[in-house]
């Protein structure tokens, strides 16, 4: 469902901004960092989130064009957000960042959490991408603008097995597969599609995982990256043919290896979990 658009208070929309952009799940964390990066690059940005007040507060803070309430699991809402963005300027970028990160094994997850992982992390990307492609095609037919950018915040877990996060990882693997296939389907139209696959990011999603749980420990066994690094990595692919990148690159190579050799690699899981648990304990306040 989409709420009323509000203007960004004291901030003026840059007169030179040629294109609009939408970032979902952007009230905080990675989404807010991506929205900030796009504002800095001259886009007229709409910040969307389930929390309308938080979306507007972020829009005010970063100088975005406005904030919306937006449920990414509703296909019609994506088209409504696109129309709102086009009121500002031709759509130039759609970033599917909204995501949930419920941890737990396949048998531990509740039905509601399992469904939400698929509906937000995979279908949310799908509905947004479909709406964006339709807008880009409409704009090209009208002679308003050619092509555009579609971005998605995925995860390093999309590249290999992650015990304790199996459903989350599956939803992200599906999103990465979707992005990769779509990139080929629309390339001839000047529409470029990208995904960023970061290692753990110190956001509410990671902090909300079960303390000492298998999923959180495995994520913390790697390198925590900043929201700004993720934003720069994703937006830095705009205008290029690169489909996805991992941050850091070495962790991406390691996860791809576990996908090729899951049996031997998963025998290392207890040791990796122990490393993550030690790092988590080191971060706890005394």
Which positions are annotated as active-site residues?
168
Q: d(Cα 85, Cα 79) in Å, to the nearest integer?
A: 10
Spatial distance between the Cα atoms of 200 and 101, rounded to a whole number of angstroms: 11
Determine the number of helices (DSSP H) and then strands (DSSP E) in the chain: 12, 8
Q: Report the 10 Å Cβ neighbour count for 204.
A: 9
Beta bridge mates, 6 = 67
Which residue bears the tokens 């979707």?
178
- By the 10 Å C-beta count (0-12 exposed, 13-18 middle, 19+ buried), 279 is classed as middle
- Reduced to 3 states, what is the DSSP secondary structure of residue 274? helix
Contact (CB, 8 A) for 189 and 212: no
Answer left, alpha or beta for residue 219, where phi above 0 means left and psi between -120 and 50 means alpha. Answer: alpha
């Amino acid at each position: 469902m989409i709420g009323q658009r509000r203007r960004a208070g004291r901030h003026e929309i840059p007169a030179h901004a040629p294109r609009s952009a939408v970032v979902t799940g952007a009230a905080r964390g990675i989404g807010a960092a991506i929205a900030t990066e796009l504002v800095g690059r001259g886009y007229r940005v709409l910040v969307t989130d389930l929390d309308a007040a938080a979306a507007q507060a972020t829009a005010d803070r970063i100088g975005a064009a406005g904030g919306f309430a937006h449920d990414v699991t509703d296909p019609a809402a994506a088209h409504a957000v696109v129309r709102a963005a086009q009121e500002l300027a031709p759509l130039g970028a759609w970033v599917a960042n909204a995501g949930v990160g419920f941890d737990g094994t396949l048998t531990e997850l509740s039905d509601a959490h399992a469904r939400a992982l698929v509906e937000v992390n995979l279908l949310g990307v799908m509905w947004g991408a479909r709406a964006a492609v339709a807008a880009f095609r409409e704009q090209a037919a009208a002679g308003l603008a050619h092509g555009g950018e579609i971005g998605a915040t995925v995860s390093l877990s999309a590249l290999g097995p992650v015990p304790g996060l199996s459903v989350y990882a599956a939803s992200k693997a599906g999103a990465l597969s979707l992005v990769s296939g779509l990139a080929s389907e629309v390339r001839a139209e000047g529409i470029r599609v990208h995904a960023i696959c970061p290692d753990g990011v110190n956001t509410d999603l990671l902090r909300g995982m079960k303390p000492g749980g298998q999923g959180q420990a495995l994520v913390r066994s790697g390198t925590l990256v900043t929201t700004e690094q993720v934003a720069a990595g994703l937006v830095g692919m705009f205008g290029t043919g690169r489909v996805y990148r991992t941050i850091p690159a070495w962790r991406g190579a390691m996860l791809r290896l576990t996908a090729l050799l899951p049996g031997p690699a998963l025998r290392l899981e207890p040791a990796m979990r122990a490393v993550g648990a030690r790092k988590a304990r080191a971060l706890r306040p005394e």
